[in-house]
Structure 1
């Protein structure tokens, strides 16, 4: 089964549900549509240009880079210093030591990792985007609108 992305794939089901006052059908078809604006049929988002590289302020002002959240090799020494600070000076000394040299928060710093509870509650469109599947877009044909308007005009005249 292919996933429904925009209202063109539904043909006229949304319109029929509204005209016949079938609220449940309308809600069902509306729930199938993707909530992402860039996937809607009306919008053709332009290709983004890569951002211009800015001057590195960290090197300019001789600042240290922010530490990652994951475990590094030198963290064993940092955590042993934290332990000694807790035993010798108590909680206040430990807080001061943590402010001076922060320790790791997680074992592995994986930005794409989500909790299983969160992944299980994602809708089908979000799962598709998370897996990296892209939607094949058909190029819009501006002359097709003229043909549709001609057919509608012929139906009205008949």
Structure 2
């Protein structure tokens, strides 16, 4: 069974539950959807064929790219420089650690989580942890025009 991620996978079930005033069904469908903002249907824009401009914002703004959390080749010299800096003053050590941050772990492995933590995650977090890509349905831009024509033919308000 494929997990529900966004409204496209429900089709018209969410809309029908809302129109027929089935609050329990509507609440159930909403609870099954992913809470991640970037996975909502409103943010799944069509893929454009235009190539983005090749500009590196790090270079334009003069920023240094963030380092990984794991141990690297040059970290031995960085730690030696920090030990010299702490002998002078704590302010110099603080400045040095801001400019050249030290490693947090020996080996960086983002997949290495405790089994109890993984067991406490919901289904959507486990899916993102396993990096399952979002399957996007094929979009038809002309379908909206047909829906608008159908709505124009129907009366706006029908008394019960």
| TM-score band w.r.t. shorter chain | 0.5 to 0.7
Residues 49 and 27 (structure 1 numbering): CA distance in 2 closer, same or farther, change over 3 Å? same
Residues 64 and 8 (structure 1 numbering): CA distance in 2 closer, same or farther, change over 3 Å? closer
Aligned to 2:158: none
Count of residues paired in the alignment: 144
Q: Is the 8 A contact 1:71 1:106 kept in 2?
A: yes
RMSD: 4.8
Q: For residues 19 and 55 of structure 2, what CA distance do their matches in structure 1 show? A: 51
Aligned to 1:104: 103
Q: Is the 8 A contact 2:78 2:102 kept in 1?
A: yes
Aligned to 1:40: 41
- Name which structure has the greater RCO, CA cutoff 8 Å, separation 6+: 2
Give the TM-score taking structure 1 as reference length: 0.54
Q: For residues 13 and 67 of structure 1, what CA distance do their matches in structure 2 show? A: 42
Residues 92 and 28 (structure 1 numbering): CA distance in 2 closer, same or farther, change over 3 Å? same
Q: Is the 8 A contact 1:85 1:97 kept in 2?
A: yes
Deviation per residue, 1:94-153 (Å, 9 max, x gap): 33443564433444556x6696648943553x54455233315245474xx58xx6xxx9
Give the TM-score taking structure 2 as reference length: 0.53
Residues 18 and 107 (structure 1 numbering): CA distance in 2 closer, same or farther, change over 3 Å? farther
Q: Which consecutive unaligned segments of at least 5 residues does structure 2 have? A: 155-160
Residues 118 and 25 (structure 1 numbering): CA distance in 2 closer, same or farther, change over 3 Å? same
Residues 138 and 64 (structure 1 numbering): CA distance in 2 closer, same or farther, change over 3 Å? closer
Q: Which moved more, 1:29-38 or 1:67-76?
A: 29-38
Greater than 6 Å deviation, 4+ residue runs: none
SS at match of 1:51: coil
Equivalent residue runs for 1:6-155 within 5 Å: 6=7, 9=10, 11-12=12-13, 14-16=15-17, 18-20=19-21, 22-34=22-34, 40=41, 45-47=46-48, 49-54=50-55, 58=59, 65-66=64-65, 68-69=67-68, 70-86=70-86, 88-99=87-98, 101-108=100-107, 117=117, 120-124=120-124, 127-128=126-127, 131-135=131-135, 137-140=137-140, 142=143
